[in-house]
Amino acid sequence: MLTLSVFFPFVIALVCAVLASKMQRYTGLLAATGFVPALLLALPLVGMPAALPTRELTSWVPELSLSLLFRGDGFSLLFAVLIGVIGTLATLYAVSYLSADEKFGRFYPYLLAFGGSMLGLVLCDNLPLLYMFWEMTSITSFLLIGLWHTRGAARDGAVKAFLVSAFGGIALLAALVMLSIAGGTTTLSQLNISAVQASPFFIPAMLCIILAAATKSAQLPFHLWLPTAMEAPTPISAFLHSATMVKAGVMLVAKFGLIFGASALWSAILVPLGLASMAWGSWLALRQTDLKALLAYSTVSQLGLLMSLYGLASDEGRFAATAHLLNHAAFKAALFFVVGIIDHETGTREIPFLHNLRRTMPITFVLALLATISMAGLPPLGGFISKELFYEAMLHRGPAFIAVAVLGSVLTFAYCARLLSIFFMPRKLNNDPLPPVVEEERRKALKKDIHEAGPALYLPAALLVTVALVFGLWPQLLERLVRTTENSLQFGALTEHLALWHGVTTALLLSIFTWLLGSVVVYFAPQVATWQKRLTPRWNANTLYYQITDGLHDAATWLITRTQGLALPDQLRIMLLAAGLMATYAVWLSPQVFHPISLPLAIVPIAVLLVGGAIGVLLSRNRLTAVVVMGLTGFGSAAFFLAFGAPDLALTQLLVEAVTVVLFLLAFRYLPGFRDLPRTRGRLLLDSLLAAAAGVGATLLTLSSVRFLAPPISPWYLLNSYPGGGGKNVVNVLLVDFRGFDTLGESLVVGMVALAVVALVRLGKKGEPNPNKPATSSLHVKEHPEESMPVTKEVNP
């Protein structure tokens, strides 16, 4: 069932890609079945923690000890079921949410491929497999975020998310290599933890794991990618940013904390990092005017809370973190669905344009109210219970930690109130001039007839809100789910139970203080907004990101214009000079013992043909003659292969040469007129010397290679071609067997080039510019505050 859960979404993705043109929006109903095996993992989850973890092993490449190994312990199964639930709801929600002209043949396959990648990530027990699925989540999330690729902001968000995730992926690869070496195996559950902790790789691997987790879970300073990722359609945002992609880093910390938690450095880094991300994310969320932007920064904040709890590496921390993991998935996915409903029915997500929606959208109001109460940590919702656990854990850590935790919670209460203000506050628009795009959206919002959404849109949110409410009113259910992970996360010794009321405790008093102080912040919201504007730093993660990327672009442009931007003859001179230096070095290293080579007489006319072809190109006065004469060298090379007993290479050379000549002839109409390039006498002398040196050097290099520096391996291939590779053609066996990975790599390169060519040929209309990026060079970057988010309506452009 584990293997099926991982790969079934990929199978359904292929089916959806084929049938989307006929099924249109109802492709989502088919896509939802892709998560059925993941939902069925709830059956073995019920037996946890008493049951033993399930393992499924499928041999992949036995010669390299590579296998598809999946392990279903309590934490992995809980995470997988969570992915299945949110994935199913997001897919069904998209059926009614997306417009009729959406590219369903991309949307649903991308969504399913991402879901399968996440399921593989949480269920795999093999380190190379873990890295593969980690990178697959980066690639598929890039495709999802950039789904509306004609938008500049969507392209920027996709590239930014991919670059940050790829940076973390490099760190994860280094960590997994070090762990496999130190632990003596590539199986995660069988790592020798004592050997890892005693290894010199322990600290470097730990730091790499933390870096990878911080990039994926949008922790400071890598939080910059998450807000711009909100350019994706709302169903994607709900799936990626409530229970899947952003939780991948949290999952990494939870699992590898069992290895690195013994070191004080682990908690010393992760707990302050998580608390800082929580407070800063809340601060930025409070200043948003776009509802999805507010939820984006609130996600940064909530992920910081989770990171700090799992970073404690204690029984109490893991218990509290797992409880909040479930609560956050419920209320955050519900809020994304609610914001999608508001955008769908009103045509805007801008808070200043929305007011008194409780009258026209009462069901949406109730759902938003309950989900927001849970996020704010108010009773009787599940968020209150996990927030109490968070306070208890930070109280045991020290006064500085609980102070930051309370500060972040106060700001969380304030931005939750800001989110709910759209249902109460009267229309109050700023009189400052608005950008044209925003002004157009404001006019549309004023004219639109607002009404309640249909059941297909609010039922997924209602189901999640019900879960959040049940978690609060019936905490025993939440505790039962959390306890399924106690063996896998090793907090079985903890005897604490979840309840709404534990008496008057320090955590409860801190919660009351949080609500009171949060109410003060809400009351003085205009003054707080003024302070936030004054305290906006000129430099932040976004400005640094654009400076780095623009700097790299400028450096690459400078290098290209001074090397590849030269005229073709100058480029050829540089290439010949570089090749000559390398050949000279090779000849100098080899023993200078030249043996006479006996060649058949038939080679002489072929050599004359080759030389004649080269001279003929030099003497040609029109392009057609030059191409035809140049073909002599190619066909002469084919004759050489044939003369030396390599008919397959000769045939390949003939085909390549014929295709090349045809392509030249087809491209003639697009080329400039045939002309002689002016050349001074000095440059003519230089060209002559380079040409002579190239000819002499190639000859010397060939003669030097006749005597090998080491015994040749070609006889081994001749002897083992048939018994080892099963083929009588040595060249074919070399390509597909002995050097199969080389051929695979070359095939992938050709495939990628082919895809790039097809993409260029099929380019449609010109995309929009990126509104997030300052229209200046890297030397003069304008202020780009982190809170700025593009105002775009969610329709397929």
pTM equals: 0.81
Q: What pLDDT, on the 0 to 100 scale, is given for residue 792?
A: 45
Q: What pLDDT, on the 0 to 100 scale, is given for residue 371?
A: 95
pLDDT of 221-238, one tens digit each?
Answer: 899 899 888 888 999 989
Angle of helix 315-346 versus helix 382-397 axis, rounded to 10: 140
- For residues 218 and 297, give the distance between their C-alpha atoms in angstroms, rounded to a whole number: 10
40's CB contacts (< 8 A; 6+ apart) are: 1, 5
Q: What pLDDT, on the 0 to 100 scale, is given for residue 302?
A: 94
Ranges of residues in the chain with a pLDDT under 70 are: 63-65, 425-448, 565-566, 590-599, 669, 672-679, 705-710, 763-797
User: For 741, phi and psi rounded to 5 degrees?
Assistant: -70, -35
CB-based burial label for 338 (10 Å; 0-12, 13-18, 19+) = buried
- Under 8 Å between Cβ of 408 and 301: yes
Q: What is the DSSP letter of 762?
A: T
- For residues 316 and 121, give the distance between their C-alpha atoms in angstroms, rounded to a whole number: 25
Q: What is the DSSP letter of 290?
A: B
Token pair of 237, please? 């945002």
CB-based burial label for 464 (10 Å; 0-12, 13-18, 19+) = buried
Q: What is the DSSP letter of 284?
A: H
In degrees, rounded to 5, the angle at the alpha carbon of residue 775 between the alpha carbons of residues 770 and 776 is 145
Token pair of 213, please? 């987790």
Q: What is the DSSP letter of 55?
A: E
**Residue 312: which H helix or E strand, with range?**
none
Report the half-sphere exposure of 669 (CA within 13 A, side-chain side).
2
| 3-state class (DSSP) for residue 148 | coil
| 3-state class (DSSP) for residue 109 | helix
| Listed residue (79, 71, 64) closest to 3, CA to CA | 71
- Residues paired with residue 69 on neighbouring β-strands, in sequence order: 57
pLDDT of 480-496, one tens digit each?
Answer: 999 999 999 999 888 88
Token pair of 531, please? 């302070």
Bin 218: left if φ > 0, else alpha if -120 < ψ < 50, else beta: left
User: For 285, phi and psi rounded to 5 degrees?
Assistant: -65, -35
| Listed residue (158, 152, 70) closest to 114, CA to CA | 158
User: For 535, phi and psi rounded to 5 degrees?
Assistant: -90, 5
- For residues 620 and 677, give the distance between their C-alpha atoms in angstroms, rounded to a whole number: 14
How far apart, in Å, do the first and last CA atoms of the chain sit? 40
Chain-centre distance for alpha carbon 348: 28
| 3-state class (DSSP) for residue 596 | coil
Buried-state track 275-291, b at ≥16 Cβ within 10 A, e below 16: bbbbbbbbbbbbbbbbb
DSSP 494-510: ------S---S-HHHHH
369's CB contacts (< 8 A; 6+ apart) are: 420, 423
| 3-state class (DSSP) for residue 597 | coil
- Residues paired with residue 93 on neighbouring β-strands, in sequence order: none
Q: What pLDDT, on the 0 to 100 scale, is given for residue 791?
A: 40
